[in-house]
Amino acid sequence: MKIKGVFFVPLIAFLFAGLVFSLFIIRFDNYGSCERLVQVMGFFDEAEEDEILFIGDSQIREDIDCTDIDENCFNLGVAGILPTQLIFLEGKIISSDPEKVVLGVSPLFFNEEINMNLDYYYVLSKLNQINDKASNWLRLNKKEKIILNQNPLQKLNYKRKFILPFFLSFAKRKNADANSGNKINNFKDPFLYTIDQTEGQIKEKVRDERILSVFRYENMELRQKEAFLELIEGLHNAKIDVVVIAMPLNPILLEKIDMTDFNEFLLDSSKKLGFELKDFQGILDEKSFTDISHLNAKGRKELSIMIKGDKDII
């Protein structure tokens, strides 16, 4: 009996520890770099009618200050989000009944080399009513489909990956919160970049072909372009006005790349789908940028005031 007890006690302890850890995972509610997307998804559930929603990647997040634009303006930029991910939010966007959706784009928005956060698919799988149009799923590769279509047990297992980074980054996160406040659920001026790169650093970047390549039209993924156009079409079918903004890029970068094909893609798409197109690519000087593709405080203010004064947007 004593020998059986020696084995029985560790087994009970192991099962109890497993139960406690499972309960901890279930209650754990922090998703690291995906937390902004979680908050944006929650925003749609609380949104009021007739709001103006600025949607896109980090260029929207960093470049748009809704406090300078309109009280009904909200910045829902999510760093690194791709059209193939964003389109799964189509239903939530429509159900929030906005007056207008403003999509901010550049070649970065369609590039999978620099923007590929697979964890976003896990967060999207938490949607109660995911947009399950066949075309959305057909665009995904096998790995993306597996992440998006997990059963509850698989989701619980996947969720474990967020726990260790959360605790390891606690000190850094605490310091960031003290310095800049909590920007994760800020939908007015959620910008995070506060230190401008020097002209020398920027010029060094544009000499790197690997960096330049992500801005070239030929490296924009076809499936991302298709998802982008289908999202606009879906919003139009729901009687929601759509404006597409070609986001500002640093003049130092624009000297190195040819934007002709990208601009033609946007212009042809606007004619085909009937959305308003605004080109702000080269409208600001290099002193308005914090790096090659994001605005600093000066540039953000300038762009937001321009947008406020444009009746086709606001």
Q: Are 90 and 130 in contact (CB under 8 A)?
A: no
Q: How many CB atoms lie within 10 A of CB 45?
A: 10
pLDDT at residue number 11: 61
Q: Cα–chain-centroid distance for residue 313?
A: 21
Alpha carbon distance 257, 215 (integer Å): 7
Highest mean pLDDT range out of 71-75, 129-133, 158-162?
Answer: 71-75
Question: What is the model's pLDDT at position 284?
Answer: 98
For residue 74, report the phi and psi dihedrals to the nearest 5 degrees: -135, 135
Residue 180: is its pLDDT beyond 50?
no
Is the predicted pLDDT of residue 181 greater than 50, yes or no?
no
Owner of token pair 């967060």: 123
Q: Report the distance separating Cα 225 and Cα 251, nearest Å.
A: 25
Instruction: Tell me the pLDDT band of 179, cut-offs 50, 70 and 90.
Output: very low
pTM, whole model, 2 decimals? Answer: 0.89
Comparison of pLDDT for 183 and 200, the residue scoring more: 200
The mean pLDDT of 84-107, rounded to a whole number, is 96
**How many Cβ atoms sit within 10 Å of the Cβ of residue 250?**
26
Q: For each of the domains in the chain, give its residue range(s) and CATH number, in order of start.
A: 34-150+181-308 (3.40.50.1110)
